[in-house]
Structure 1
Amino acid sequence: QGLQQGERAMILSLAKRRFGRVTKRLERALARLDSPEKLLEAGEYLLDAESLPQFTKFVEDLAR
């Protein structure tokens, strides 16, 4: 559980560095990711995402 919390914080930090900001919507979507595999997938996708809205949508879809 603690490790997943650290992963979420790292993804948010990297997203903020990459896009200049993060949104509550992204924070909520990341909080709903319930497995280390999904967090890893989100982190990997962040490297290719072209915009914050695109990344947020990906994470929201992953959280479903």
Structure 2
Amino acid sequence: MKITIDEEKCCAGGQCVLAAPEVFDQRDEDGVVVLLNAAPPAEHQPAAREAAQLCPAAAIHVQEV
């Protein structure tokens, strides 16, 4: 799995952090998503997929490799 984010699209909804706090965080100043791990281990991958699905701005992209 490889995760990329589009910071320009991010609306700072925080759903990604709630779904997968091991993979995503938010910047303090504006709430924009911060990718903590672009290639999360297997145990965090289901949560990362869920975070991408929950993102209201579709700013998270998951590529299965």
What TM-score do the two structures reach when normalised by structure 1?
0.30
Higher strand share: 2
Which structure has more relative contact order (CA 8 Å, sep 6+)? It is 2
Judging by fraction of residues, say which structure has more helix.
Answer: 1
